[in-house]
A and B are shown apart, each in its own frame.
Chain A
Amino acid sequence: MKKQQLQDTAAFAVAEAKRLGATDCEIGIQAGESFQIGVRNGDVEELQGSQSRGLELTVFVGQRHATVSSADFRRRSLTRLIRDAIATAKVSDEDPSAGMAEPEHLAKEVPELDLYDPAIERITVADRIRIARQCEAAAMAADPRITQSSGASFSDNRGVVVLANSRGFVGSYAGSMVSISASVVAEADQQMQVGSWYSVSRKLAGLESPELVGKIAGEHAARQLGGRSVASQVVPVVFDPQMAARLVGQFVGAASGAHVYRKSSFLHDKFGQMVASPLVTIVDDPLIPGGLGSRPFDAEALPSRRREIVSEGKLAAHLIGVYAARMLKTAPNGQGTSNLYLQAGTLTPEEIIGSVQNGLYLTGVSGPGFNATTGDYSVGASGFWIENGKLAYPVEGITIASNVVAMFNGIEAIGNDLVFRGGTNAPTVKIRSMTIAGKASS
C-alpha cells in the first residue's frame, strides 16, 4: 500500500475520532511485506512471506482513554472500531497524567535517515536461495566435527510507518531490513553443541558475506565441544560483545520512567549519581544514518535526539515518555531506545583477556536471571576458562551471579571492538568479580 493512502487512512481516523466525540486521538500504522526462505542440507525447506498491515489507535476523552488495534482498514470498520474505543474510554477511570504529548514537545521535522534500500525489492528468490545455501555450506565446512545442520535462512522485510495525531503531527518513513543466519551442530565424544550466527542490515550491501556468517556459526558450534563445569569460585568475568550488549540493555531497562515514578528499580533515584565505573558511557542515538534502530521520531511523536544515559559512570538520563513526564512533572525525552550502545574503550579483546589470570570469558547465558527491582543477577553461563591470560578450555553447566550495581561499578576494562549488530550494542567488557557456581569446590 502506498504511503499516501496510509496517511489518508490516518487522517481519516483522526478526523473521525474527533467527529465521534474524542478530544484527542493518535494513530500509528505499519504496512509492509516480508519474505523468508529457509534451507537445510542444501534443500529449500521453507518459503514464507506476507503482506501485512496494522494500525493502533488511542482515543482520549478528556483524561480518559482507550487503545485499539486492527488490520481492517475499511472506513466502515474503522468507524466502528473508533466508536467502540470511545465508548471504552468513557467508562475508564480518569487519569490526570493521561494524554498525548504537548504540542511544544512534538517532533517538528522528520529527518531523512537512509533507512530504506530499494535494492531489496529487486532481489530474486533464486538469489536468496543461493545466499542461504552459501551460508549453510560455509557453516558445515567450518570444522570437521560439524555433523548436522539446523538450517540457514535469508529474510527481508520492507515497510512504511505512519504516525499522526490530533495535535497536528503527521510523519512517515519507509524502512527495510535484510538478514541471513545459520545454525549447525558439532558432535564429539557423545556431546553435541549448537552454534549460530547472523548478519542483519538495513541494506543489502550492508550484509556480511554468507561465507563469513556461516564460518562463524560453525566455529561457534565446534569451539564449545568438550565444555565442562568448573569449581565454585569468585573470579573476573569478561563478557563478549553479545553478552555485554545484553547486559547493557538490561541495565538501561531499569532507567525507564515507569520505574522512576513507581520507585521500582535500583536506578529510580540515582539521577546525577555515579552508577558505574567512570569508564562507562552509554548512549542512545536514533539519528545514526542507516542504523538498525534509527527512527526519525518515536512512537509518541517525540523528536529523535541523541541522549547519553550514562556519562563516564554518572546516570545522565532516565527514559521519560509522555505519561512518565506528567507523573514526574518534567519534560519527556522519549521512553524507548533506538541504537543503544556502550561507548568503545581502547583495549583490544585480546588485551582484556590477557589481563585475567584466572576467570571466565562469557559467550552464552541462559534464563531471565535479572531482577530490575533489586539489580540481582543470576544466569546460566557458558564460554571459556581463562588461564594466565589465554582461553584454556570451554566451560558450560555453571552459573554466574552478582548484583548489576556491583557489576557496573566493577567494570575494569572496555574493548575497542564495538560493532553495531542490532538495536543494542557493546564492545567486550571486563567485570572485576562475579560468583561462579559449579561443581563442589573440593
Chain B
Amino acid sequence: MKNSKKDVSRELHRLFGLTTDQVESVIGLALKGTPANSFCDIYFQAGSSEALSWDQGRLKGSSRDVVAGAGVRVVVGDKVGFWPIDKVDITGLKRAAKVARQIADYAQKEIVPPARAAAPQHNLYDVALSPTTVPLADRTALLKAIDAETRKHDARIQNVSVKLSVENYTIIVANSLGQFLVDERPLLHVSVSALAREGDRTELGSSGGGGRIPFAALANDQVWKQHAQLAAEQAILLLSAAPAPAGEMTVVLGSGWPGVLLHEAVGHGLEGDFNRKGTSAFARRMGERVASPLVTVIDDGTLADRRGSLNFDDEGTPTTQTVLIENGILKGYMHDRQNAQLMGMALTGNARRQSYAHLPMPRMTNTFMAGGQHDPEEIIRSVKYGLYAEAFGGGEVDITNGNYTFSATVAWLIEDGRKTRPVKGATLLGNGPKSLHHVSMVGNDMALDKGIGMCGKDGQRVPVGVGMSTVRIDNVTVGGSQN
C-alpha cells in the first residue's frame, strides 16, 4: 500500500506541481481566525473517464473527460464553507481557502473536536494496469463481440446497444489533522441493451456489470457472454409477457441486484445527515425493531473489487463493515465526519462525493442482507399466488415518510408454488420502517449484484453495490395495470 507521506508528496507534485508544505500552508490559511476545532480538508482529483457507445452494429461514439481539480472545505461545527477549483495552483488554492473560511463568520464558538480516523489499511482494488490505458481496439473488439453474441441468441433481436465506461482517478486527501492520503481508483462498467421485435411487440432487455477490476476481468468470456445472454433472454421473455397484476400480494425477490430493495427501504433512511436533522423515518428509532428477525442488513465498503468499495472514504476515513439492522433491530447509521461528530458517534467511512467539485455526504457503499436458511426453490414453492421478480431497474425513497419504490423490469406469476407465466415490469412499493416486518423467508443463496448500481442524492451520483438472497415478502403493493 503506497501511502507514506512521501508517496503523497510525489503524486501531488506529479499531478499538480504542489508540495505538501504548500498544501499545509493552504490548510493553515483556511483555518486562520476560525474557532478552535474547526476542520479543513482539500480533496484533489486527477484522471480521466472514457466512454464508448456501440449501436446499430458499429461504434457510434467515443468520449474522454479529463479531470484535474481540487475542493477546499472548511467545517465549523454544523457549518460548511466550500470552494472547488478546476485550475489547481497555489494561487487558486489560497483564494479558495479564503472564500471557504468565510463560513466561520456565521458559526458558533463551541465546537466538538474532530475525530481522528485510523490509518487506511485496505488494498481492495490493486489494478496494475489502469483501464484507461487499454487500447481502443481491444475495447471496441469487446463491444463487437457482445453485439454478435447478443444477436446470436435469437433472430428476433433487432438491435444491440452497448456502453463501456472506464475511469481511473488518483485521489489525494489532505486535512487539518495532518493526514495526507493517496488512492488510485479504477472503475469499469459495461451495459448491454437488446431490442427484440415480434409482430407489433417491441421490448428492451438489459444487463451489465463491472467493478474496480482490470479490463481483463470484464473481457473474460464467461463474464461478458453472460451479460449478452441475459439481455437477450430478457428481451425475448418480455415479448410474451402479460401485463402485471395490481394490488397487495406476496412477492419473491431473486438474489443479487433485487437487493436494491434494501438500498431504498432502509439504506437512505439510515444515512447520518437525515437522522441528525431528524428528517428520516428511522430517526430516534435506534435499538427498535424495524424488520422481521430474519433480516440483517450490512453496509460494507471493504469488499475486494466491488463498485461501491473504497480503501478510504472521500474524507480519508478507512471504509468499514457497518451493521445497520441485526435480526430486525436497528443497530447503526452510516456517517461522514461532520454528522458522526455532531451526533457523538464513531466514524464509519461512508463520506462520499461525486467529484472534487461536490461536497461529501454520508452515502452507502455495498449494502446487502445476510443470507438465511431456505432453499430458493422451497421459497417459491411456499407461495400460493404471487410474483417472482429477479430483474430490476432503479428505485426511489422519500426518507421522511419512508415510502419507497423499486421497479421490476420483468417478473413471473407464481401460481400454486410454481413460476407459471412471465409478466411485464411493475413498480413495487413499500414503507421503510414497516414493510421489512413482512419478510417471511430468506434464502441461502446470498449474492451481490454484478456491478451496475449508481446512487443519486442531492444531485450527486456515486457508484454503489447491493446484494441479497432470494427473499419472500408478504403484503407488497405491486403496481401492475391488471386490476
Interface residues of A (CB under 8 A from B): 40, 43-54, 65-72, 81, 84-85, 88-89, 91-93, 95, 125, 148, 150, 185, 191-194, 224, 227, 229, 232-234, 258, 261-264, 266, 327, 366-369, 371, 373-374, 376, 378-380, 382, 396-403, 434-441
Across the interface, name the chain A residue whose C-beta is closest to B273: A150
Taking A263-B202, A380-B405, A401-B246 as contacts, is the C-beta distance between A437 and B63 under 8 angstroms?
Answer: no
Q: Which A residues are CB-close (under 8 A) to B68?
A: 71-72
- A148: contacting residue among B99, B279, B397, B426, CB under 8 A: B279
Compute how far the CA of A374 lies from the CA of B241 in the bound complex, rounded to whole angstroms.
12
Is B203 in contact with A193, judged by CB distance below 8 angstroms?
Answer: no
Is B405 in contact with A68, judged by CB distance below 8 angstroms?
Answer: no
Interface residues of B (CB under 8 A from A): 55-56, 58-69, 78-87, 99-100, 102-103, 106, 136-137, 140, 158-159, 161, 195, 197, 202-204, 244, 246-248, 277-279, 281, 357, 359, 393-401, 403-407, 424-427, 429, 431, 477-483
Is B78 in contact with A45, judged by CB distance below 8 angstroms?
Answer: yes
Q: Which B residues are CB-close (under 8 A) to A402?
A: 481
Compute how far the CA of A65 lies from the CA of B100 in the bound complex, rounded to whole angstroms.
41
Across the interface, name the chain B residue whose C-beta is closest to A372: B204
Q: Which B residues are CB-close (under 8 A) to A93?
A: 58-59, 140
Is B477 in contact with A49, judged by CB distance below 8 angstroms?
Answer: no
Compute how far the CA of A46 lies from the CA of B247 in the bound complex, rounded to whole angstroms.
44
Q: A48-B82, A92-B136, A378-B481 are in contact. List 6 more A-B contacts (CB 8 A).
A: A40-B277, A65-B61, A192-B279, A264-B204, A367-B395, A397-B403
Minimum distance in angstroms from A192 CB to a CB of chain B: 5
Is B82 in contact with A193, judged by CB distance below 8 angstroms?
Answer: no
Is A437 in contact with B281, judged by CB distance below 8 angstroms?
Answer: no
- B66: contacting residue among A46, A68, A368, CB under 8 A: A68
Taking A47-B102, A437-B246 as contacts, is the C-beta distance between A401 and B480 under 8 angstroms?
Answer: yes
Is B394 in contact with A264, judged by CB distance below 8 angstroms?
Answer: no
Taking A367-B405, A400-B479, A403-B481 as contacts, is the C-beta distance between A52 and B84 under 8 angstroms?
Answer: yes
Is B431 in contact with A399, judged by CB distance below 8 angstroms?
Answer: no
Is A67 in contact with B246, judged by CB distance below 8 angstroms?
Answer: no
Compute how far the CA of A441 lies from the CA of B247 in the bound complex, rounded to whole angstroms.
8
Q: Which B residues are CB-close (under 8 A) to A327?
A: 56
Q: Which B residues are CB-close (under 8 A) to A439?
A: 248
Compute how far the CA of A368 lies from the CA of B456 in the bound complex, rounded to whole angstroms.
13
Minimum distance in angstroms from B294 CB to a CB of chain A: 23
Compute how far the CA of A380 lies from the CA of B56 in the bound complex, rounded to whole angstroms.
34
Taking A263-B202, A369-B427 as contacts, is the C-beta distance between A185 and B61 under 8 angstroms?
Answer: no
Across the interface, name the chain B residue whose C-beta is closest to A44: B106
Compute how far the CA of A91 lies from the CA of B481 in the bound complex, rounded to whole angstroms.
48
Taking A234-B483, A262-B56, A435-B482 as contacts, is the C-beta distance between A45 and B79 under 8 angstroms?
Answer: yes
Is B58 in contact with A264, judged by CB distance below 8 angstroms?
Answer: no
Is A232 in contact with B246, judged by CB distance below 8 angstroms?
Answer: yes
- B477: contacting residue among A95, A263, A438, CB under 8 A: A438
- B197: contacting residue among A68, A263, A376, CB under 8 A: A263
**Could you write out 27 A-B pairs with CB less than 8 Å apart?**
A46-B103, A47-B82, A47-B106, A50-B84, A50-B86, A54-B86, A65-B61, A65-B62, A66-B63, A66-B64, A67-B61, A70-B67, A81-B66, A84-B64, A88-B64, A150-B277, A150-B279, A232-B246, A367-B396, A369-B479, A379-B427, A380-B427, A401-B427, A401-B479, A435-B482, A436-B246, A437-B246
Minimum distance in angstroms from B134 CB to a CB of chain A: 13
Q: Which A residues are CB-close (under 8 A) to B278?
A: 148, 185
Q: Which B residues are CB-close (under 8 A) to A373?
A: 195, 202-204
Is B400 in contact with A192, judged by CB distance below 8 angstroms?
Answer: yes
Across the interface, name the chain A residue whose C-beta is closest to B429: A380
Across the interface, name the chain A residue whose C-beta is closest to B201: A374
Q: Which B residues are CB-close (under 8 A) to A85?
A: 64
- Identify the interface centre among B58, B140, B405, B478: most chain A CB within 10 Å of its CB: B405
Compute how far the CA of A221 lies from the CA of B477 in the bound complex, rounded to whole angstroms.
24
Minimum distance in angstroms from A58 CB to a CB of chain B: 9
Q: Which A residues are CB-close (under 8 A) to B85?
A: 50-51
Minimum distance in angstroms from A433 CB to a CB of chain B: 10
Minimum distance in angstroms from A402 CB to a CB of chain B: 6
Is A52 in contact with B86, judged by CB distance below 8 angstroms?
Answer: yes
- Identify the interface centre among B83, B195, B403: most chain A CB within 10 Å of its CB: B403
- A262: contacting residue among B83, B84, B159, B480, CB under 8 A: B159
Is B477 in contact with A399, judged by CB distance below 8 angstroms?
Answer: yes
Minimum distance in angstroms from A233 CB to a CB of chain B: 7
Closest 5 CB pairs of A and B: A399-B479, A367-B405, A380-B405, A44-B106, A437-B246
Across the interface, name the chain B residue whose C-beta is closest to A397: B403
Is A379 in contact with B277, judged by CB distance below 8 angstroms?
Answer: no
Q: Which B residues are CB-close (under 8 A) to A66?
A: 62-64
Is B277 in contact with A48, judged by CB distance below 8 angstroms?
Answer: no
Across the interface, name the chain B residue whose C-beta is closest to A399: B479
Compute how far the CA of A84 lies from the CA of B79 in the bound complex, rounded to whole angstroms.
43
Minimum distance in angstroms from A319 CB to a CB of chain B: 17
Taking A45-B80, A262-B159, A373-B195 as contacts, is the C-beta distance between A367 and B359 under 8 angstroms?
Answer: no
Taking A52-B84, A192-B400, A374-B203 as contacts, is the C-beta distance between A369 and B405 under 8 angstroms?
Answer: yes
Q: Which B residues are CB-close (under 8 A) to A368?
A: 393-394, 396, 407
Taking A264-B204, A437-B480 as contacts, is the C-beta distance between A367 and B427 under 8 angstroms?
Answer: yes
- A194: contacting residue among B56, B83, B99, B398, CB under 8 A: B398
Is A382 in contact with B403, judged by CB distance below 8 angstroms?
Answer: yes
Taking A148-B277, A185-B400 as contacts, is the C-beta distance between A379 and B479 under 8 angstroms?
Answer: yes
- Identify the interface centre among A95, A396, A397: most chain B CB within 10 Å of its CB: A397
Across the interface, name the chain A residue whose C-beta is closest to B49: A69
Across the interface, name the chain A residue whose C-beta is closest to B161: A262
Q: Which A residues are CB-close (under 8 A) to B424?
A: 374, 376
Is B58 in contact with A95, judged by CB distance below 8 angstroms?
Answer: yes
Taking A194-B279, A368-B394, A380-B479 as contacts, is the C-beta distance between A71 and B407 under 8 angstroms?
Answer: no
Q: Which A residues are CB-close (under 8 A) to B359?
A: 46, 48
Minimum distance in angstroms from A384 CB to a CB of chain B: 15
Is B55 in contact with A262, judged by CB distance below 8 angstroms?
Answer: yes
- Identify the interface centre among A89, A95, A437: most chain B CB within 10 Å of its CB: A437
Is A366 in contact with B81, judged by CB distance below 8 angstroms?
Answer: no
Is A398 in contact with B401, judged by CB distance below 8 angstroms?
Answer: no
Q: Which B residues are CB-close (under 8 A) to A47?
A: 80-82, 99-100, 102-103, 106
Minimum distance in angstroms from B461 CB to a CB of chain A: 14
Q: Which B residues are CB-close (under 8 A) to A125?
A: 102
Across the interface, name the chain A residue whose C-beta is closest to B78: A45
Is A378 in contact with B477, judged by CB distance below 8 angstroms?
Answer: no
- Identify the interface centre among B69, B158, B483: most chain A CB within 10 Å of its CB: B483
Q: Which A residues are CB-close (under 8 A) to B483?
A: 232-234, 435-437
Compute how far the CA of A407 lies from the CA of B57 in the bound complex, rounded to whole angstroms.
34
Compute how far the CA of A437 lies from the CA of B430 in the bound complex, rounded to whole angstroms.
12
Compute how far the CA of A431 lies from the CA of B351 in the bound complex, rounded to whole angstroms.
44
Q: Which A residues are CB-close (under 8 A) to B481?
A: 376, 378, 401-403, 434-435
Is A435 in contact with B246, judged by CB distance below 8 angstroms?
Answer: yes
Is B61 in contact with A396, judged by CB distance below 8 angstroms?
Answer: no
Is B407 in contact with A369, judged by CB distance below 8 angstroms?
Answer: yes
- A378: contacting residue among B58, B62, B404, B427, CB under 8 A: B427
Is B482 in contact with A264, judged by CB distance below 8 angstroms?
Answer: no
Q: Which A residues are CB-close (under 8 A) to B136?
A: 88, 91-92
Is A67 in contact with B427, judged by CB distance below 8 angstroms?
Answer: no
Minimum distance in angstroms from B109 CB to a CB of chain A: 13
Is A71 in contact with B69, judged by CB distance below 8 angstroms?
Answer: yes
Q: Which A residues are CB-close (under 8 A) to B427?
A: 366-367, 369, 378-380, 399, 401
Is A67 in contact with B197, judged by CB distance below 8 angstroms?
Answer: no
Compute how far the CA of A413 lies from the CA of B79 in the bound complex, rounded to whole angstroms.
48
Compute how far the CA of A192 lies from the CA of B431 in the bound complex, rounded to whole angstroms.
12
Compute how far the CA of A382 lies from the CA of B106 in the bound complex, rounded to whole angstroms.
38
Is B429 in contact with A399, judged by CB distance below 8 angstroms?
Answer: yes
Compute how far the CA of A366 lies from the CA of B398 in the bound complex, rounded to whole angstroms.
8
